[in-house]
Amino acid sequence: MYIYAHRGFSGEYPENTMIAFQRAYELGVDGIELDIQMTKDGELVVIHDECIERTTDGIGHVKDFSFRQLRQLDAGGWFHPRFAGERIPALAEVLDWLSDQKRSIILNIELKNGIIHYDGMEEKLLTLLHSYRSWRHHIVCSSFSIGSLYRIHQIDPHVNKAMLVEGSQCDVLDFAYAINVKEIHGDWNFLVSQKGEEASKKVGICVYTVNDKFLLHELINRDVKAVMTDFPNHMIKE
Ligand code: G3P
Ligand code: CA
């Protein structure tokens, strides 16, 4: 079972920042999960929320700022003063950094487009990915939005896609299989549901967000491809 660092090594570093990704990589994780939103001027940026106030010293929506404006913000001080000066990364910065590393790991890019619709986000993402060499094997694009996954599939049917689901009530799985999702990313409730059991026979199942070692041991006995955790340091040792 693979260990993915959820929003990077977000248990001990400010989520979705370069230091959180670098420290996760240094720990030896199998993969990193991150979230993307889009700026006013069309840059794909790595931040979980549609609004910036929880994880930066700014106020407002990502969509209302240019990338240049967002880069002025402090994305680390909210977590601990010693991380003041961390910036919101552009997705391109993360891809550049990863392509310079010796060890190839999985990068799970979650398109955060369920609440705000970012026109052209999928096209931007795929254009960016196509500018890198040999990205296909180690990048998985995920979303809670089946429409967004469908759009990705229309642009490039060979991109690795993952449907995000929460809980046992989900009625989009058949559609997800029809567009050849490689994985379903679900929570514990999905995993133990009938739909979760059926899904595990068809595609890889990744479980978020597992920060409890006892839960991890439960998962080891199940057919789970990867777990996403804020504390990869604890999970790798298990
Ligand atoms: O990819 C699974 C997980 O990251 C989804 O939840 O809110 O942490 O993005 P969230
Ligand atoms: Ca996420």
- Hey, which residues does 228 pair with through a beta bridge? 4
Q: How far apart are CA 27 and CA 191, in angstroms?
A: 27
Q: How far apart are CA 136 and CA 120, in angstroms?
A: 21
220 has pLDDT over 90: no
The pLDDT, as a whole number, for residue 26 is: 98
The atom number, within ligand 1, closest to the CA of 162 reads 1
The pLDDT, as a whole number, for residue 13 is: 98
Question: Catalytic: 138?
Answer: no
Which band of pLDDT confidence, cut at 50, 70 and 90, is reported for residue 31? very high
The atom number, within ligand 1, closest to the CA of 6 reads 4
The pLDDT, as a whole number, for residue 128 is: 97
8 Å CB contact between 10 and 37:
no
User: Does the predicted model carry a pTM greater than 0.85?
Assistant: yes
Question: Catalytic: 6?
Answer: yes
Distance in Å, CA 230 to ligand 1 centroid: 11
The pLDDT, as a whole number, for residue 203 is: 96
Distance in Å, CA 123 to ligand 1 centroid: 22
**Domain 2-50+90-237: which topology?**
TIM Barrel (3.20.20)
Residue range 145-165: mean pLDDT, rounded? 97
Which band of pLDDT confidence, cut at 50, 70 and 90, is reported for residue 223? confident
What are 110's two structure tokens?
A: 């979650």
Give kind and range of the element (H or E) at residue 194.
helix 194-200
* Three-state DSSP class for residue 183: strand
Pocket probe mutation, ligand 1, options 36, 208, 210, 224, max atoms within 8 Å of Cβ: 208
Distance in Å, CA 220 to ligand 2 centroid: 22
218 has pLDDT over 90: no
10 has pLDDT over 80: yes
Residue type for position 222? R
* Active-site option among 48, 61, 138, 234: 48
Pick from 215, 216, 206: nearest CA to 181: 206
* Angle (deg, nearest 10), helices 18-27 and 91-99: 30
The pLDDT, as a whole number, for residue 57 is: 98
Give the residue, by CA position, lying nearest to ligand 1 atom 2. 208
